[in-house]
Amino acid sequence: MNEQDRPRPVFDPGISEGDRVLLAAAPGRLVPACMPAPPVPRLRAATVVARLVWIPVFAFFYGVLPGGWLRVFFLASLDGDDLVGDAARWGRLPVVTMMLTPALQVLLLMLGQVEAAAVLAAVSFTGWAIGALRHVREPAAARAAREHHGSYLLPADFDRPAARLLVRAQRAIDAVLGSQAHGAGLLDDISNTVVLPRQEWAIAGALAEHTRLRRERLAQQPERLSPRVRALLEPQDRALELSVRSVTGRIEALEAYARRAGEADDAYHESRVLQTLPEQNARYRDLLASTVGDEMAGAEIRGMAEDAHRAETALRERGTGAVRAGHDLARPGERGVSSRRAR
């Protein structure tokens, strides 16, 4: 499958926005729906023992001892460009804490505040231990990929015919959402940001099911079956063909809507030109009035006003056509959702 026929991952609109962002940012952790779900991570006894030793040592080094300063001086002795090293990936607060806490402890000890220094050390130790525990737990992206397995579809979930159809649908959706008319709010009445992701997910789900059925049929090795058994499989083949036609029709509707959005873009461009016409007409009228004082000038002025009116009328008609196409597209998706709920 080349890059042109390779669809992007599709996520169920029901996934929360936060988890969707995590999944999109970590494609390497996603597992195709056609494969088993990732197992729940299990801790081995050796891992538990290692963490029981490592976490207190880590927390004591950075929370009680001047671990941050030792790290800086050690890397400085190696002429490292980044004196703080990989610690910066922990965040600004841990880096600042590991640098300031030892200095505060020394200051408190110099002032004779031994108890306060001990309390600060205990609090710092506890904070670093908790941070270490959060760091060694299952990554958020891995958890989301495991919990939402089956609620996202990857290129591996589609064979070549299904992938080509899905790419067509995604290109049409991208054309609509990337259009100037959508960005300018001319198509907001049809709620593109809500309807189109639902359409993409419904199409992707149907195409993934087509792929599973075709793969199952190949595994059955029809050429090895008797004519009587192959005849029993023909109704299944016809049902699959009808479903493919239905999905293809939905994709063609998306492509038609994308063409309408392109027409709306042209109309939007015309509207921007029309906005400059009154000022331009005034300048041309002044030009004619200053050079010609007969009836011909008056006719030219009236003709320019009529041209502007016709252009404005054409803009309204083309915008109305795009909105109507969007409403026609939204209705099949709503019917599909209603039928699934009824079942």
Separation CA 49–CA 37 (nearest Å): 28
Q: Are 33 and 154 in contact (CB under 8 A)?
A: yes
Mean pLDDT, to the nearest integer, of 215-229? Answer: 92
Confidence of residue 84 (pLDDT cuts 50, 70, 90): very low
The confidence score (pLDDT) of residue 194 equals: 86
Residue position matching structure tokens 């991208």: 174
Provide the angle, in degrees to the nearest 10, between the axes of the packed helices 192-219 and 295-342.
50
Question: Does the structure show a pLDDT above 80 at 48?
Answer: no
Listed residue (337, 55, 73) closest to 197, CA to CA: 337
Q: How confident is the model at residue 43 (pLDDT cuts 50, 70, 90)?
A: low
What mean pLDDT comes out for the span 6-23?
Answer: 94
Beta bridge partners of 11: 152
Proportion of the chain above pLDDT 70, given as a percent: 67
DSSP 8: P
For range 56-75, the mean pLDDT: 65
Mean pLDDT, to the nearest integer, of 128-148?
A: 80
Query: Which tokens is 103 given?
Result: 């200095």
Query: Do 342 and 209 meet the contact criterion of CB atoms below 8 Å apart?
Result: no
Spatial distance between the Cα atoms of 302 and 257, rounded to a whole number of angstroms: 38
Mean pLDDT (whole number) for 135-152: 87
Q: How confident is the model at residue 338 (pLDDT cuts 50, 70, 90)?
A: very low
Residue-level pLDDT at 283: 81
More confident: 255 or 338: 255
Give the residue-averaged pLDDT of 290-308: 59
What is the spatial distance between Cα 67 and Cα 102, in angstroms, rounded to a whole number?
8
- Greater confidence, 329 or 337? 329
The pTM score is 0.65
pLDDT of residue 264: 86
**Which segment of 57-61, 155-159, 253-257 scores lowest on mean pLDDT?**
57-61
Number of neighbouring beta carbons within 10 Å of residue 268: 22
Whether 330 shows a pLDDT value over 60: the answer reads: no
Taking residues 332-337, what's their average pLDDT? Answer: 44
**Most confident of the following: 129-133, 279-283, 291-295:** 279-283
Determine how many CB atoms are found less than 10 A away from the CB of residue 294: 7
Torsion sign, CA atoms 109, 114, 118, 120:
negative
pLDDT class for 340, splitting at 50, 70, 90? very low
Cα distance between residue 283 and residue 107, in whole Å: 77
Residue bearing the bigger pLDDT, 158 or 192 = 158
pLDDT computed for residue 129 by the predictor: 75
What pLDDT is recorded for position 342?
38
Q: pLDDT-derived band of residue 189, with 50, 70 and 90 as boundaries? A: low
- Dihedral (CA of 304, 306, 310, 312) sign: positive
- Alpha-carbon torsion 116, 122, 126, 127, what sign? positive
| Strand pairing class (152-153; 10-11) | antiparallel
User: Phi and psi at residue 66, in whole multiples of 5°?
Assistant: -75, 60
**Cβ atoms 201, 170 nearer than 8 A:** no
Which segment of 70-84, 176-190, 221-235 scores lowest on mean pLDDT? Answer: 70-84
pLDDT of residue 152: 97
Q: Is the pLDDT of residue 255 over 70?
A: yes
Whole-number Cα distances in Å, 136 to 22, 130, 132, 225: 18, 10, 6, 54
pLDDT, residue 138, reads: 75
Work out the mean pLDDT of the chain and round it to a whole number. 78
The pLDDT score that the predictor gives to residue 281 is 76
Pick from 16-25, 40-49, 243-252, 275-284: least confident: 40-49
Contacts of 162 (CB under 8 A, 6+ apart): 207, 208, 210, 211
Quickly state the pLDDT bin for 324 (edges 50, 70, 90): low
Work out the pLDDT band at 295, boundaries 50, 70, 90.
Answer: low
